[in-house]
Structure 1
């Protein structure tokens, strides 16, 4: 028996690991619920991934002699839930 029921549809929620953080996901409606501190952990991970990506991209563009443009953090945050 699941520990939590979805507040939206009442179905038992499942814990899913994303980037080392356990998040509660409803298998029926797809709702995602985070406990205290989990969003901050996911955002910190996203920022680390973003910094590494930006550094790698900047080095590549410098090597190729191309103009460098920054990408937004929001896409990386959304990628955490794929």
Structure 2
């Protein structure tokens, strides 16, 4: 466990055609970048602060880039990836 700062990056090794769910319980901004450099768009937003992304035909290291962190606050972020259709 450590402090997350603006500009920090999480690398997630994902396969093609996977769903990626990111849950954030604190107010910080982030982006998800595919191995080809393109940024993924949110395909679905859930009321419990979860955003869903689709890896499409990309596989490899996806970057979750932290764009902002509230001053003096710790952030809480969770990742979940799965293949196929599923209910949350």
- Would you call these one fold, judging by a TM-score over 0.5? no
Give TM-score scaled by structure 1 length. 0.22
Higher normalized strand content (fraction of residues):
2
Give TM-score scaled by structure 2 length. 0.21
Higher relative contact order (CA 8 A, sep 6+): 2
Greater gyration radius = 1
